[in-house]
Amino acid sequence: MSNNRRVAVIGLGSMGGTMATTLHSAGWEVTGFDPSEAARDAAAQAGISTTAELKDLAGTPFVVLSLPSAAIVEATVPVLLSAPGTIAIVDTTTSEPATSKSMDILAESKGAAFIDAPVSGGREGAATGTLSAFVGASRTAAEAARPVLEALTGGSYAHIGGPGSGNVVKLLNNVLAAANLVSVGEALGVAKAYGIDPAVAASSISNASGGSKVSANMYPNWVLSGTHDSGFSLGLMARDAALAIDVARQIGEQPELLAAAASQWQEALAALGPAADFTEIARTVAPAITPAGAPHKTTVA
């Protein structure tokens, strides 16, 4: 197989593992790496070749990163660039703009491209190759990465600006979603207190100017139903909301409403733990509308 169809996927969790399978199904020669043996085994079951050593993938023409944090991105990219041959590294991690800028400089010095391309669309989008991506890169780097971006998104990606800009807009997207999950929950809690069915209220609002994906889909499908099985953790959303506020403050911005919402996510994190589904925020902001109700108190006020 020609070099331009070889891709390494680093991080084989819920999103990375699914993206690896999608690329494999699209005809790419995929090799995956994850420090977790269980994650590697799951990928192997899906027909993905895996390795237990990151350094084995140095110099692979294309790379997709799906990692837990910016710090792990910083530790991973130099290993991948330690051998020649890499054309483009597409980082789908919800990372930090300063990290993406420094990785872009490092990649360019090695004759490669680094693109921050955090994604939205969840497991379903990853499985169907219909993710949306927020791309931060030079025009040249974005073009170098285009074959992988097309395979993961079906062309549904926005080249927002230079290195790091994809991270900024993805964090703003997530903190807006986080704030909307709080505000819709609070509103439906008020409706319930008036004796109005929250599902009817959510449906009515979703057809009007206050509507959103949160009111139209997330609350009916995952909150009011009590399933809370979106596949995205409360710990990750709380992290993203806090990081969005940090990124804003680094340049002197003080987004007060978003910061207030982010603090409510920290309270939910303390009450429910990081492994809870992110839609369980409703259990702390509007417990009356959720089948599971408020989290159990572990301390007496």
Ranges of each domain in the chain: 3-162, 168-289
The predicted pLDDT at position 129 comes to: 84
The predicted pLDDT at position 142 comes to: 97
The pTM score is: 0.91
CATH superfamily of 3-162: NAD(P)-binding Rossmann-like Domain (3.40.50.720)
Which of 227, 206, 244, 213 lies closest to 279 in space, CA to CA?
Answer: 227
Mean pLDDT (the chain) is: 95
Mean pLDDT of 169-185: 97
Q: Tell me which residue has tokens 């995952």.
A: 222
The predicted pLDDT at position 298 comes to: 52
CATH number for the domain whose boundaries are 168-289: 1.10.1040.10
Q: What is the pLDDT of residues 202-237, one digit of tens each?
A: 999 999 999 999 999 999 999 999 999 998 899 999
| Residue type (1 letter), 45 | Q
The predicted pLDDT at position 3 comes to: 54
Cβ contact 36:94 at 8 Å: no
Provide the angle, in degrees to the nearest 10, between the axes of the packed helices 165-193 and 97-109: 150
Encode 7-18: b = buried (16+ Cβ within 10 Å), e = exposed. Answer: bbbbbbebbbbb
Question: Cα(265)–Cα(271) distance, rounded to whole angstroms?
Answer: 10
